[in-house]
Chains A and B, each alone.
Chain A
Amino acid sequence: MGGAVITCSNVWFRYPDGTVALRGVDCAILEGEVTALLGPNGAGKTTLLLVIAGLLEPQEGQVAFRGRDIRELGPELRRHVGLVFQDPDDQLFCPTVFDDIAFALRQLGLPEEEVRAKVTEVAAELGIEGLLTKPPYRLSYGEKKKAALATVLVYEPEVFLVDEPTAFLSPRYVAFLKELMAEGVRSGRTFVIATHDVDFAYGIADYVYVLMGGRVEAEGKPGEVFSDVRLLEKAELRQPWEIVVREKTRLIQ
């Protein structure tokens, strides 16, 4: 594990309609780790991801990538930080899946042969090589999710921000995603996931932030956070099944 790759200091963000989504958030994303952002709906998880990706500019506070303010980095940050949106229909906007996966590579000005090779490689890794010529709206939800992930995986950013990676997906896809992220972590990638899926977060995360009302309510190792039942109730979450089963087994024994 390395040092902090992203740090947020006293980040405040207010939407134009007056909704204050983030109220002085402080957090640090460590390199080569999976950090989970948990919390109820409207807690500010997605907004925090958008702020970290440099897509929304906070009114107060600072977000730094490797010690440099992301405002100084500008669009260059996007080479290092990739964002996968919750709804794949927001993420996929090109005429074909191939064009969508190739989009970032073409923006980087890579030769077409290299683009083709990289797209094919990532598509094979995710098992969507048969979908490359299809328009994205013809895919199933799970296929769209994989294609959306491929659009970011292909340009190999250092940090992956993934919004609700398991929402509406089958257990098989969730297991696949877990394996993919574990593999990514082994090769030194950093993941930040915003999720309600406590079982997924418990199984994959190295560190957890619980957000409520735009503030960090609690943080810590998954074992610590998920054993605080009162906190979980307050954050409209529950204990992961693994902990529940372990507790019950212990009581029976």
Chain B
Amino acid sequence: MLWRRGLLMRYLDAVGHVLDRLAKERSPRIAPFTSLALLVLFVSPAAFSSPIPLRACSFLPFALALVLAVASRELGNFLKLVGLILPFLTIIALPLPFITPGAVTYAIQLGPLRLVATREGTLKAAAFVLRCLNAISIGVAWTAYAGLTTLIRGLHAVDPTGTIPNMAFLTARYVPLSIREAQRLLAAREARLLRKPRISSSWLVLASCCGDLLLRAFNRAWKVGLAMRARCPFGSPANISDPRGCFRLGVRDLIWLLAAVGYIALFILEVV
């Protein structure tokens, strides 16, 4: 009988797949700088305002994210990502009802330990989860729509020297590669486990990969540095990509900017 792939491998598979899709080169629908500005405009209101008390507009960023995911034909991957993020957010928010002072709503008795949850804490936890979910989902959906490389090209406007976009490009290029490397390392180790792995042995396998991955990352960084220098006749490299066309402003850009202004106005008037 074939063993099922471990949870960790499937998790890495999912992360790698999502990153692959995000980093996929898309035809530039919107100018790089406009894309970046729109990302900030869409994410900031969702990230810096509380969606509680709940109103229709509390879900506006998520709804917009869904529309964008459908428009970029990434709805399945988008929902997978949301499914991946929600448990993490819940774990982070879990202590909030118990550590925030306020009116007691319920209590849990765990042996000698009594955990008291408050209404304020529960609302705080819900607001945190919703706020993060809104911000992440709109950010991810916009990235999928505009294309990660377009957004990174937009960074040339923030840093004309090109250092930040270069670093961002290299990260976008090598993170999926590192995930694949991690998968290969894990697969090679799992292939040598002659019994069905227990959870404890899975952690040992993972732990033994970490150091290896770190060393490989250093080695790769050194080699990539050499490869860049090898093709730079003037010493240090200029830009990895062409920064031209960053500020081009077309009709589509203007329409999107107007839509973003409308979104912010709606958000500020209704939610904050």
Q: Which residues of B contact A152 (CB under 8 A)?
A: 231
Would you list which residues of chain A between 80 and 128 have a CB under 8 Å from chain B?
Answer: 82-83, 85, 87, 89-91, 93-96, 99, 102-104, 106-108, 112
Contact of B220 with A90 in the complex, beta carbons under 8 Å: yes
Contact of A95 with B24 in the complex, beta carbons under 8 Å: no
- Asked if A137 lies at the interface with its beta carbon under 8 angstroms from chain B, I say yes
Candidate in A76, A85, A103, A155 with the most chain B CB atoms within 10 angstroms? A103
Q: Which residues of A contact B238 (CB under 8 A)?
A: 106-107
- A152 to B224 Cα, complex, angstroms: 15
Q: Which residues of B contact A155 (CB under 8 A)?
A: 231
Q: Which residues of A contact B149 (CB under 8 A)?
A: 95-96, 135
Q: Which 9 A-B pairs have the closest CB atoms?
A: A90-B223, A104-B231, A75-B235, A95-B149, A83-B230, A79-B233, A55-B226, A78-B233, A91-B227
Q: Tell whether A85 pairs with B227 under 8 Å between CB atoms, given A95-B149, A95-B241, A99-B240.
A: yes
Closest to A91 in B: B227
> Could you list which residues of chain B lie within 8 angstroms of chain A, going by C-beta atoms?
20, 23-25, 149, 152, 169-170, 172-174, 176-177, 220, 223-224, 226-235, 237-242, 244
Contact of B240 with A75 in the complex, beta carbons under 8 Å: no
Chain B's interface: helix, strand, loop or mixed, by majority? helix
Contact of A107 among B220, B224, B227, B237 (CB under 8 A): B237
Q: Which residues of A contact B228 (CB under 8 A)?
A: 93
- Asked if A136 lies at the interface with its beta carbon under 8 angstroms from chain B, I say yes
Contact of B244 with A112 in the complex, beta carbons under 8 Å: yes
- Asked if A53 lies at the interface with its beta carbon under 8 angstroms from chain B, I say yes
Contact of A95 with B152 in the complex, beta carbons under 8 Å: yes
Q: Which residues of B contact A83 (CB under 8 A)?
A: 227, 230
Contact of A94 with B240 in the complex, beta carbons under 8 Å: yes
Looking at chain A, what size class is its interface with the partner chain?
A: 35 or more
> Could you list which residues of chain A lie within 8 angstroms of chain B, going by C-beta atoms?
50, 53, 55, 74-76, 78-79, 82-83, 85, 87, 89-91, 93-96, 99, 102-104, 106-108, 112, 133-138, 151-152, 155
Closest to A99 in B: B241
Closest to B238 in A: A107
Contact of A74 among B172, B235, B237 (CB under 8 A): B235
B26 → chain A, closest Cβ, in Å?
10
Contact of A103 with B233 in the complex, beta carbons under 8 Å: no
Contact of B230 among A53, A137, A138 (CB under 8 A): A53
Q: Tell whether A112 pairs with B242 under 8 Å between CB atoms, given A89-B220, A95-B173, A133-B25.
A: yes
A70 → chain B, closest Cβ, in Å?
13
B216 → chain A, closest Cβ, in Å?
11
Q: Which residues of B contact A138 (CB under 8 A)?
A: 20
Q: Which residues of A contact B152 (CB under 8 A)?
A: 95
Closest to A77 in B: B233
Q: Which residues of B contact A82 (CB under 8 A)?
A: 230-231
- A25 to B196 Cα, complex, angstroms: 52
A47 → chain B, closest Cβ, in Å?
11
Subset of 30 A-B contacts with CB under 8 Å: A53-B230, A55-B226, A75-B229, A75-B234, A82-B231, A83-B230, A89-B177, A89-B220, A90-B220, A90-B224, A90-B227, A91-B227, A93-B173, A93-B224, A94-B241, A95-B25, A95-B149, A95-B173, A95-B241, A99-B240, A103-B240, A107-B231, A107-B233, A107-B234, A135-B23, A135-B25, A136-B173, A137-B173, A151-B231, A152-B231
- A107 to B237 Cα, complex, angstroms: 7
Q: Tell whether A106 pairs with B242 under 8 Å between CB atoms, given A53-B230, A93-B227, A95-B152.
A: yes
- A134 to B25 Cα, complex, angstroms: 7
Q: Which residues of B contact A87 (CB under 8 A)?
A: 223
A181 → chain B, closest Cβ, in Å?
19
- A206 to B124 Cα, complex, angstroms: 75
Closest to B236 in A: A75
Q: Tell whether A135 pairs with B230 under 8 Å between CB atoms, given A95-B240, A99-B242.
A: no
B7 → chain A, closest Cβ, in Å?
25
Q: Which residues of B contact A78 (CB under 8 A)?
A: 229-233
A230 → chain B, closest Cβ, in Å?
35
Q: Which residues of B contact A107 (CB under 8 A)?
A: 231-234, 237-238
- A85 to B226 Cα, complex, angstroms: 10
Contact of B241 with A137 in the complex, beta carbons under 8 Å: no
A138 → chain B, closest Cβ, in Å?
8
Q: Which residues of B contact A99 (CB under 8 A)?
A: 240-242
Q: Tell whether A93 pairs with B233 under 8 Å between CB atoms, given A103-B240, A112-B244.
A: no
Contact of A137 with B240 in the complex, beta carbons under 8 Å: no
